[in-house]
């Protein structure tokens, strides 16, 4: 569906679109879980969130519409895919059902939807605890349903709220909610628990040091990537719980450094932890090394929808799913300078391929949008990068506004079409052309004066060249 919508919009010459319209959530929803039995009414929805109230929630409560959409959009960009329905279903009650609970797309109990269900309201503060509770429930969806895997192997270790604390703090930071981030930082830093030992400061001594020293949201996401890649499963479900040594090992691998010392500070250390930690390194041989993200891939045009972040490596379809993607669902790609990305149409690096060395806000609709099944991410040696740029000639440069720009591709064999894109300083594609030729002429009459980058792909390699329009 998405490919057809995008293609139709391109044919009409429409450029003012960012997202593809998602499926429409039902107007009402009958609860049928736990003691819940309310007939819910949909009050708001967009492409990412659907908000439902029972009959006792005041119609003046509208802040969840924007806020919960922002939370879910940030979550999907950070952690990836959460089911075929893109919506977070926010269910709110007043004067009943104290507290909250989550459910995910694996759970038939909530009609296989990602759900944050909360009560008892009245939700009129639009800040503080109201934000915390709803965000907390989304954090449980992340721990129990990210990376195409179900259940939370660490729940028996960190309990109901310790993961949620660092997740909430990161969401507030990610959304620019600095006062809320500062508020919960103080609260969580001063919070102690009696597990795994009395007086444990989970946030102060474990999660915050990892978060602040080893990559923020990236280290949080990498933990779930590693679980999905290495931890045993039974079907879609994780097969068992983590023990403490395994828990510390997986977080060490996510951070890129042994966290044994940090764990000793946070939880103490004993012979059982030592034995489990050593065995975990044998059972799950993951190297403790810093990770550089070389490419970001997104579900929708202009880097929208869910996102996955890839270091250097080769990713067949199984590996892409472990990073939070699904088959044939990538539309835009960011490439870190100094790296290149090879997209493959089929699994296991087979079928048609294309090499990208710079950002692409919209993959070619007819050939690559929603058609990626495996990926290779590699560093580009400096000499190779210079050679590729040397194979591209763009003239005149500078080019006068209203004139013609000519692109000449070296060593063109005539077998594949050549794609030419002109990208502005905001990494937005402002002009594009496709042709079966080594030399392509393009008008630039509609582009304002400034600096641009020309990106040329011939089906096997990509070339870039900076140009100036006067």
> Tens digit of pLDDT for each residue in 181-205?
999 999 999 999 999 999 999 999 9
The two beta strands, 350-356 and 304-311, are unpaired
Residue 434 has a pLDDT of 79
Q: At what angle do helices 63-79 and 129-145 cross, to 10 degrees?
A: 30
User: Among 9-23, 103-117, 281-295, 341-355, whose mean pLDDT is lowest?
Assistant: 9-23
> To the nearest whole percent, how much of the chain has pLDDT over 90?
72
Are 440 and 420 in contact by the 8 Å Cβ rule? The answer is yes
Residue 452 β-bridge partners: 467
Residue 147 has a pLDDT of 98
pTM across the whole model: 0.81
**Does residue 167 carry a pLDDT above 80?**
yes
422 or 16: which leads in pLDDT: 422
User: Among 240-254, 311-325, 385-399, 441-455, whose mean pLDDT is lowest?
Assistant: 385-399
The two beta strands, 450-457 and 418-423, are antiparallel
Cα four-point dihedral sign 53, 55, 61, 62: positive
Residue 338 to residues 142, 193, 214, 387: CA-CA distances in angstroms? 32, 45, 22, 13
Q: Which two tokens stand for residue 188?
A: 């969580």
Q: Which two tokens stand for residue 446?
A: 């509609």
Residue 16 has a pLDDT of 34
Are 84 and 112 in contact by the 8 Å Cβ rule? The answer is no
**Does residue 18 carry a pLDDT above 50?**
no
Model confidence pLDDT, tens digit, residues 303-343: 999 999 999 999 999 999 999 999 999 999 999 888 999 99
Residue 411 has a pLDDT of 65
User: Among 19-28, 65-74, 252-261, 310-319, whose mean pLDDT is lowest?
Assistant: 19-28
**Does residue 226 carry a pLDDT above 60?**
yes
Residue 22 has a pLDDT of 57
Residue 19 has a pLDDT of 38
Q: What mean pLDDT, rounded, does the chain reach?
A: 89
Domains and CATH numbers, the chain: 28-237 (1.10.390), 293-379 (2.60.20.10), 392-469 (2.60.40.1930)
Backbone angles phi, psi at 109, to 5 degrees: -60, -30
Closest to 225 (Cα-Cα) out of 262, 261, 256, 259: 256
Residue 342 β-bridge partners: 355, 376
Residue 36 has a pLDDT of 98
393 or 126: which leads in pLDDT: 126
CB atoms within 10 A of CB 330: 25
Residue 224 has a pLDDT of 98
Rounded mean pLDDT, 164-178: 98
Residue 432 has a pLDDT of 80
Model confidence pLDDT, tens digit, residues 41-88: 999 999 999 999 999 999 999 999 999 999 999 999 999 999 999 999
Rounded distance between C-alpha atoms, residue 321 and residue 432, angstroms: 31
Grade residue 7 by pLDDT with cuts at 50, 70 and 90: very low
Rounded distance between C-alpha atoms, residue 64 and residue 57, angstroms: 12
Rounded distance between C-alpha atoms, residue 125 and residue 147, angstroms: 34
């Amino acid at each position: 569906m998405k490919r057809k919508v995008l293609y139709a919009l391109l044919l009409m010459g429409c450029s003012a679109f960012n997202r593809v319209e998602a499926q429409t959530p039902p107007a009402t929803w009958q609860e049928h879980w736990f003691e819940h039995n309310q007939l819910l009414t949909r009050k708001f929805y967009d492409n990412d969130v659907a908000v439902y109230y029972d009959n006792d929630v005041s119609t003046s409560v509208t802040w969840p519409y924007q806020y919960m959409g922002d939370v879910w959009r940030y979550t999907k960009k950070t952690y990836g895919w959460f089911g075929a329905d893109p919506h977070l279903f926010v269910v709110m009650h007043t004067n009943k059902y104290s507290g909250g609970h989550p459910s995910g797309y694996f759970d038939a109990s909530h009609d296989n939807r990602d759900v944050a269900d909360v009560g008892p309201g009245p939700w009129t503060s639009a800040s503080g605890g109201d934000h915390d509770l709803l965000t907390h429930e989304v954090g449980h969806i992340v721990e129990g349903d990210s990376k195409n895997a179900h259940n939370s192997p660490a729940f028996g270790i960190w309990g109901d709220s310790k993961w949620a604390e660092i997740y909430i703090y990161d969401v507030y930071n990610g959304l620019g909610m600095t006062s809320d981030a500062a508020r919960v930082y103080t609260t969580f830093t001063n919070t102690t628990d009696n597990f795994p030992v009395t007086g444990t400061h989970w946030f102060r001594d474990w999660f915050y040091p990892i978060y602040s020293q080893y990559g923020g949201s990236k280290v949080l996401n990498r933990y779930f990537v590693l679980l999905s890649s290495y931890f045993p499963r039974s079907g879609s479900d994780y097969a068992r719980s983590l023990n403490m040594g395994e828990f510390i090992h997986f977080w060490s691998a996510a951070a890129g450094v042994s966290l044994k010392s940090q764990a000793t500070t946070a939880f103490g250390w004993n012979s059982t932890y030592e034995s489990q930690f050593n065995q975990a390194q044998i059972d799950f041989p993951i190297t403790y090394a810093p990770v550089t993200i070389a490419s970001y891939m997104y579900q929708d045009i202009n880097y929208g929808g869910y996102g996955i972040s890839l270091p250097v490596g080769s990713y067949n379809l199984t590996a892409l799913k472990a990073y939070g993607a699904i088959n044939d669902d990538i539309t835009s790609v960011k490439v870190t300078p100094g790296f290149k990305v090879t997209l493959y149409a089929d699994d296991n690096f087979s079928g048609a391929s294309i090499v990208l060395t710079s950002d692409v806000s919209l993959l070619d609709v007819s050939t690559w949008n929603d058609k990626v099944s495996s990926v290779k991410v590699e560093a580009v040696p400096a000499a190779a990068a210079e050679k590729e740029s040397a194979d591209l000639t763009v003239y005149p440069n500078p080019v006068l506004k209203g004139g013609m720009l000519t692109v000449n591709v070296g060593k063109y064999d005539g077998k594949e079409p050549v794609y030419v894109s002109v990208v502005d300083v905001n990494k937005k594609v402002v002009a594009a052309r496709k042709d079966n030729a080594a030399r392509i002429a393009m008008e630039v009459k509609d582009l304002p004066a400034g600096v641009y980058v020309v990106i040329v792909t011939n089906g096997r390699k990509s070339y870039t060249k900076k140009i100036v329009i006067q």
